[in-house]
Amino acid sequence: MFRIDFNKLRFLVCDDNPHMRRILRTLLHSFGAREVYESEDGATALEMYSHYVPDIVITDWSMPIFDGLELAQMIRQPELKGNPFAPIIMLTGHSEKRRVTVARDAGVTEFLAKPISAKGLYQRILNVVANPRPFIKTKTYFGPDRRRNSSNAYIGPERRVGGEVEVLQQPSLLDKARTPV
């Protein structure tokens, strides 16, 4: 059985709702975390990300001006300075299939739907600490491997091969996120 030494981890929490920040801070401190930095919008979170270099980012999706999706996209920039590999846990009231897919395609590592629970949060953190996934870089994506399972029964087009590949035309992530369903 494994336990996490939370006192060695540095967290960045981003949520515009002060009550949710308080709850997250309480949960993380109870787990044993000492270093929990907080921001109420994505722009400030990005600055704090560069400054404090957190081990794990926990972000809401809906925030004014610069939301959690854009924050994830800004962090997942392999060409820029800084760490593009930090685990990002998106904690959000959105739980529709399209939203989960868009978050995944923005490079989010784990998705946790509100209402929050201590168990749900702990499990997501344990997962990103104990089971990091390799990163995939394509023309349109940089982030954790979106394939969590390998299946021998898969019969669709193989989009990752060494030879000829099928190129999928995709709208930009921001366009996808903002397109009404």
**Structure tokens of 27?**
């949960």
Strand partners, 56: 11
Is position 3 an interface residue for other proteins (rule: CB under 8 A)? yes
Is position 120 an interface residue for other proteins (rule: CB under 8 A)? yes
Is position 118 an interface residue for other proteins (rule: CB under 8 A)? yes
The interface region with other proteins, picked from 41-49, 68-76, 112-120, 170-178 by CB under 8 A, is 112-120
| H-helix or E-strand spanning residue 83 | none
Among 53, 80, 82, 146, binds other proteins (CB under 8 A): 53
The interface region with other proteins, picked from 47-55, 68-76, 149-157, 170-178 by CB under 8 A, is 47-55
Is position 51 an interface residue for other proteins (rule: CB under 8 A)? no
CB 94 within 8 A of CB 69: no
| H-helix or E-strand spanning residue 72 | helix 68-75
Is position 145 an interface residue for other proteins (rule: CB under 8 A)? yes
The interface region with other proteins, picked from 39-47, 48-56, 68-76, 170-178 by CB under 8 A, is 48-56
φ/ψ of 111, rounded to 5, equals -120, 130
Is position 29 an interface residue for other proteins (rule: CB under 8 A)? yes
Spatial separation of the C-alpha atoms in residues 53 and 56, rounded to whole Å = 9
Rg of the Cα atoms in the chain: 17
CB 38 within 8 A of CB 27: no
CB 118 within 8 A of CB 32: no
Angle value at C-alpha 70, between 69 and 75, nearest 5 degrees: 100
Is position 79 an interface residue for other proteins (rule: CB under 8 A)? no
Is position 81 an interface residue for other proteins (rule: CB under 8 A)? no
- Positions that interact with other proteins (CB under 8 A): 1-6, 8-10, 16-17, 19-20, 22-23, 26-27, 29-32, 35, 52-55, 62, 64, 85, 92-98, 100, 111-122, 128-130, 132, 134-139, 145, 159-165, 167, 180-181
